[in-house]
């Protein structure tokens, strides 16, 4: 169950995004006082009524919002770099086509126009030197949004790749430009962007918030005889994931509490239905989008050397305080990690585990 990264239409052309991000300087992204006197966050939006859409049949956009400010899209992340926020985006636009269930969105870098005669205008660029929009404020304080490409959510060259008919179906309409948006409270934009990927309240806080760097934890599960009888391919009888005093002290010695959970060690212990002996393995974790990626730190015995980077597990928050553990590459300590054989390799029923919080004593070695 390797978690999907936070990937959206804003990640199109990520290879050249890395180059452009480095080129965006603090001066170029100085606060834009055209939006607000102090250069702070600003929200503009418009929801078109049925009468307007009826008289503009070539306009697909039924709702459009523009937000200037910090990232309103990404959920709380396990990655201390806060995901897309590291790209330095300061402008975000979302549109919902008529009949669509969810909005689409893009993010980019907005700065005052440097073109001749561009006083008062703002250009918002995206990856690969593409334009998200050209912005200005009219005499009534409305945000005029122009220069919106029909393929803004598809990427350059999409018409040739898709063919005209499919391109016309997926692209914005020929009248989807020149929008005039009313100023709105910032909360309106945040609520609109929240429609893109609604937060599941049952998931609660991310693991990096729920689990503290200076506190132990214990999660696990004991599988009943009935469960094992109905899952004949499952080797795991009991499983524990925990941090004890030793792991807490090791992390504190590194002096990197601000980077939690990066560099944190934890322990996985299992017993199997074939062997009641407890097998233990230590992993070192890094935050990665909405998951922890944890790599085995050493073999469980003196077996032959192997690539431990391939011996990894993934942790994610589950509903109602549970923890999800995914084991895609036979990295649970069924056997010495470099000596996995047919009898101890990961089976389909040993790949994903839903673990409950347990007393620390349940994880004591």
- Locate 190 and state its tokens: 């945040």
Distances (CA, A) of 244 to 194, 240, 266, 359: 37, 12, 8, 12
Cβ count within 10 A of residue 251 = 24
Instruction: Concatenate the DSSP letters of all residues of 80-100 into one string.
Output: TT-GGGGGT--EEEEEEETT-
Kindly give the pairing relationship between strand 122-125 and strand 312-317.
unpaired
Sorted by where each begins, the domain ranges of the chain are: 9-199, 207-363
CA–CA distance, 164 with 158 (Å, rounded to integer): 9
Task: Give CA–CA dist 144/138, Å, rounded.
Answer: 7
Could you read off the pLDDT tens digit of each residue along the chain, which spans 365 residues? 333 333 333 334 334 534 444 445 444 567 888 888 888 899 999 999 999 999 999 999 999 999 999 889 877 788 875 443 445 789 999 999 999 999 999 999 999 876 655 567 899 999 888 899 999 999 999 999 999 999 999 877 888 888 999 999 999 999 999 999 999 999 999 999 999 988 888 999 999 999 999 999 999 999 999 999 999 989 899 999 999 999 999 999 988 888 999 999 999 999 998 888 898 999 999 998 889 999 988 755 545 556 666 688 999 999 999 999 998 877 788 777 676 666 666 778 889 999 999 999 999 86
d(CA 93, CA 177): 13
Dihedral sign for Cα atoms in the order 258, 294, 15, 206: negative
Determine what percent of the chain falls in helix, strand and coil, rounding each to the nearest 5.
Answer: 25, 30, 45
pTM, to two decimals: 0.66
**What pLDDT, on the 0 to 100 scale, is given for residue 81?**
59
């Amino acid at each position: 169950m390797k978690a999907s990264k936070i990937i959206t239409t804003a990640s199109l052309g990520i290879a050249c995004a890395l180059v452009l991000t480095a080129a965006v300087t603090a001066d170029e992204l100085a606060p834009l006082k055209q939006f607000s006197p102090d250069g702070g966050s600003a929200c503009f939006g418009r929801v078109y009524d049925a009468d307007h859409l009826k008289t503009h049949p070539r306009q697909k956009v039924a709702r459009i919002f523009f937000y200037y400010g910090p990232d309103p899209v990404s959920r709380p992340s396990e990655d201390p770099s806060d995901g897309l926020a590291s790209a330095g985006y300061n402008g975000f636009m979302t549109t919902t086509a008529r009949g669509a269930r969810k909005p689409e969105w893009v993010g980019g870098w907005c700065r005052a126009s440097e073109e001749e005669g561009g006083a008062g205008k703002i250009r918002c660029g995206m990856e690969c030197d593409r334009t998200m929009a050209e912005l200005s404020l009219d005499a009534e304080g409305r945000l005029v949004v122009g220069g919106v490409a029909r393929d803004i959510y598809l990427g350059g060259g999409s018409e040739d790749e898709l063919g005209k008919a499919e391109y016309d179906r997926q692209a914005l309409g020929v009248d989807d430009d020149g929008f005039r948006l009313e100023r709105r409270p910032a909360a309106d934009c945040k609520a609109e962007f929240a429609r893109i990927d609604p937060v599941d309240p049952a998931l609660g806080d991310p693991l990096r918030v729920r689990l503290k760097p200076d506190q132990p934890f214990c999660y696990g599960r004991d599988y009943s005889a009935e469960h094992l009888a109905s899952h004949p391919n499952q080797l795991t009888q009991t499983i524990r994931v925990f941090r004890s005093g030793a792991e807490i002290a090791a992390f504190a010695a590194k002096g990197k509490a601000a980077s939690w959970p990066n560099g944190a060690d934890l322990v996985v212990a299992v017993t199997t239905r074939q062997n009641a002996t407890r097998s233990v393995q230590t992993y070192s974790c890094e935050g990665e989008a909405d998951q922890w990626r944890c790599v085995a730190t050493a073999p469980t015995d003196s077996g032959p050397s192997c690539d431990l980077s391939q011996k990894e597990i993934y942790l994610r928050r589950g509903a109602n305080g549970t923890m999800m553990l995914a084991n895609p590459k036979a990295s649970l300590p069924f056997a010495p990690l470099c000596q996995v054989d047919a009898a101890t390799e990961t089976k389909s029923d040993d790949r994903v585990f839903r673990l409950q919080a347990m007393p620390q004593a349940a994880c004591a070695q």
